[in-house]
Amino acid sequence: MESPAASQIWDIGGFILGNVGDMYGTVGKDAIIEAQAVERSIVVASSGQNARRNPYLGVNAHLQSYAQHNTIGAWKMWHNAYINDIFNALSEQLPSGYEVGMTTSLQISEYHPDSGERIRRPEPDVTIYESDPSLHGQMLSLMAGTAPTLVLPVTETLHADDELYLSGLMIYRAIELNNLVPVTRIEILSPTNKPPGDGFIQYFEKRDATLAQETPLIEIDLLHESRPVPRGIPSYPNRHTDAHPYNIYVNDTRLGLADGKTLVYGFSVDEAFPLVPVPLAGKEHIIVDFLAPYNETYARLQLLRNRLDFQQVPLAFETYTSADQARIQAVMQRIKGSL
């Protein structure tokens, strides 16, 4: 069955390396269209002004635009709630031998929640831990994931200047069987830590250091107004060809930094989240739907949800492409028809 998106992996020289399906598997286009059609009918039937159900099939453009331009801490409120819901989802989904825990993010917070002063303070993110290495060989029962829209060598997404770094040594601590070994890091990108945000330099330095340690990194980027963090990714605000307003980056360095790949899962307004492979130890992975926790977050955040006016276009409407503007207006018509 035909893949719903790009189905080949390319190296920087343009040579085909293999099929994405060989690594992670894909979901057929017909299955996705059918599932989205069912979801659309449910959304239309139960979506109204300030309803708990997200009226979009994926990222809520009204919510994300509001959060990016609001000064009452809306973005941080949404970020923390979404990270918590991803935590809960992974806790239910991870196979035996793995655990998930909160950890200090690679990103910095921009403003103090009380004084409003600009600060440099870490925010929480999610890390997957391996609790029992003896289970490496066990086969996992996995559903198929969506094909990425772009695949790059991880080294091509780094911002590091080789001339600024010296060769070094590292002393490792022996890990006993029951100790927690970090396996994969998950980040939700924030406005401060994307270019041209004030925290961008600090974030990409920590990002590059994480990848250099061969720790897989998942980056969820739902910020259409700012350029991508990884190099080589088409920029939506610059109106590059094949750019998407939303992206999920799977930086898989388990084969080493030099052989690592960055799988880019781009998607548009009113389009379901892609099903993303999250690397685990060895060759294992699980397929994660980040839409389910997103919708849970939307349903729980009444304070933000009640600030949204679906009778008006989102803030900074001009920052969307004409095609995405049309999609947003179609959603608004669906909501109007359901009232």
Residue 87 lies in a domain: yes
Residue with tokens 């949404």: 78
Position 263 scores a pLDDT of 94
Query: What confidence score (pLDDT) does residue 283 get?
Result: 87
25 belongs to a structural domain? no
Structure confidence at residue 106 as a pLDDT band (50, 70, 90): low
Q: What whole-number distance in Å separates Cα of residue 125 and Cα of residue 111?
A: 18
3-class DSSP string for the chain? CCCCCCCEEECCCCCEEEEHHHHCCCCCHHHHHHHHHHHHHHHHHHCCCCCCCCCCCCCCHHHHHHHHHCCCCHHHHHHHHHHHHHHHHHHHHCCCCEEEEEEEEEEEEEECCCCCCEEEEEEEEEEEEECCHHHCCCCCCCCCCCCCCEEEEHHHHCCCCHHHCCCCCCCCCCCCCCCCEEEEEEEECCHHHCCCCCCHHHHHHHHHHHHHCCCCEEEEECCCCCCCCCCCCCCCCCCCCCCCCEEEEEEECCCCCCCCEEEEEEECCCCCCCEEEEECCCCCEEEEECHHHHHHHHHHCHHHHCCCCCCCCCCCHHHCCHHHHHHHHHHHHHHHHHC
Q: Is residue 198 part of a domain?
A: yes
The answer to whether residue 94 sits within a structural domain is yes
Highest mean pLDDT among 42-46, 89-93, 95-99, 180-184: 89-93
Q: What are 7-32's pLDDT values in tens digits?
A: 223 232 223 333 444 455 544 445 44
Q: How many domains does the chain have?
A: 1
Asked whether residue 10 is domain-assigned, the answer is no
Query: Per-residue pLDDT for 220 more than 90?
Result: yes
Per the domain annotation, does 30 fall within a domain?
no
What tens digit of pLDDT does each residue of 72-94 get?
Answer: 688 888 988 998 899 889 888 88
Average pLDDT of the chain, as a whole number: 75
Other CB atoms within 10 Å distance of the CB of residue 269: 26
Q: Residue range 127-142: average pLDDT?
A: 55
Q: What's the mean pLDDT in 316-321?
A: 97
More confident residue, 322 or 152: 322
How confident is the model at residue 320, as a pLDDT?
98
Residue 47 lies in a domain: no
Taking the C-alpha atoms of residue 62 and residue 119, their distance in angstroms, rounded to an integer, is 27
What is the maximal distance between C-alpha atoms in the chain?
Answer: 64
Instruction: Name, in order, each residue with C-beta under 8 angstroms of 279's C-beta and a sequence gap of 6 or more.
Output: 183, 184, 216, 250, 252, 254, 285
Q: For residue 121, what are the domain limits?
A: 56-338
Is residue 221 domain-resident?
yes
